[in-house]
Amino acid sequence: MGTESMGLRESKKQETRQLISDHATRLFIEQGFEQTTIAEIATAARVAKKTVTNYFARKEDMALDHHEEFTATLARAVAGRAAGESALAVLRREFAAAVERCDPVAGFAGPEFARMIADSPTLTTRLRELHDRREEALAEALAAAAPGDSPAIAPRAAAALLGAAHRLLFRRIQELTLAGEPNERIAATVAPEATYTFDLLEAGLEAGFGADSEGSADA
């Protein structure tokens, strides 16, 4: 009974968090991020102002409420890759799958959401921070599996290159979204561009961060 009560309580918390995020994002789109107050969000969600700040320490995280998933995606893919699969190979494959399903985490968030971010200096800055955090998490995952004879800077160098590629492709999706292209056409455009981008990285990264000769995964 106690476990069930805890589960219901946690479910209610998640519902409240999502409710606040949904109303906040709607107001941000309608009024602009900087112009929308915490009090307005609380009123729209029918909760106390303190409830809003309890669930969201930062106003921008009400709009970018999947930030934890975003920052973890690359590191999680690398940490969970199959034996013998390189970091580049798994990230290339994962990105292709994200494009195919038009995943919002990859940038397919729709024109209104993309415009909301583009029009807000605060959200634009926060998104850059999230890209940086994602790259840092990737570097940690690469370092955990790096060969012992690799230079100390190798995981960070590889993460910087892979992170830059994902950052570029994310911006490309946003650019096409803001230009009014539908998701299907964006996916058709970005898929070959992603192949080209990852191909540029392949020679350098496979040399130091590929699969080893015995088939076990390194970085």
Which pLDDT does position 66 carry in this prediction?
86
**Residue ranges of the domains in the chain?**
2-61, 67-209
Among the four given CATH numbers 1.10.3720.10, 1.10.10.60, 3.40.1360.10, 3.40.50.1980, the one describing domain 2-61: 1.10.10.60
**Taking a C-beta distance cutoff of 8 angstroms, is the pair 94, 76 a contact?**
no
Which pLDDT does position 212 carry in this prediction?
44
pLDDT in tens, 134-187: 999 999 999 988 777 788 999 999 999 999 999 999 999 999 999 999 999 999
| Residue with more model confidence, 50 or 65 | 50
Residue listed under structure tokens 């950052």: 167
Residue 121's contacts (CB-CB under 8 Å, 6 or more residues apart) are: 34
**Taking a C-beta distance cutoff of 8 angstroms, is the pair 66, 134 a contact?**
no
d(CA 127, CA 113): 13
Which is nearest to 135 in space by CA: 62, 78, 190, 86? 78
